[in-house]
Amino acid sequence: MSDITIYHNPRCSKSRQTLDLLKEEGLDPVVIDYQKTPPAAEELDRICTMLDKGPLEVTRTQEKLFKELGLSKQDERSRAEWLRLLTENPKLIERPIVVNGDRAAIGRPPENVRAIL
């Protein structure tokens, strides 16, 4: 079993490129299609902590859904509220996210994940 997990969207080119990079490195990551199986709020909070980012910083604010939900970067929501919004609307989670043990990286660009391998 791999210690490396990729929160993956197979429709996203950066996510596919990041998965390919991991495989080229000889790794066999656990692949989670996070839109079908979103992380629980607690797991997403742990990932944000590993990334040293708040939930808003891992939110796709340019996504149409962000605006449809009436969200704004200036919203004064608690961390727990942002985490709940992301788990209920996984399309808003930045992608891909790779977790290796207690470290994480966003694969934008895909080469970013090399820092945690």
- Residue 12: active-site member: yes
> Whole-angstrom Cα distance, residue 39 to residue 115?
23
Q: Which of 2, 6, 10, 12 is catalytic?
A: 12
> What does the block give as tokens for 102?
């207690």
Question: Quick one: angle between helices 41-51 and 79-88, nearest 10?
Answer: 120
Alpha helices in 1-117 (DSSP H): 13-24, 41-51, 64-68, 79-88
Positions marked active-site: 12
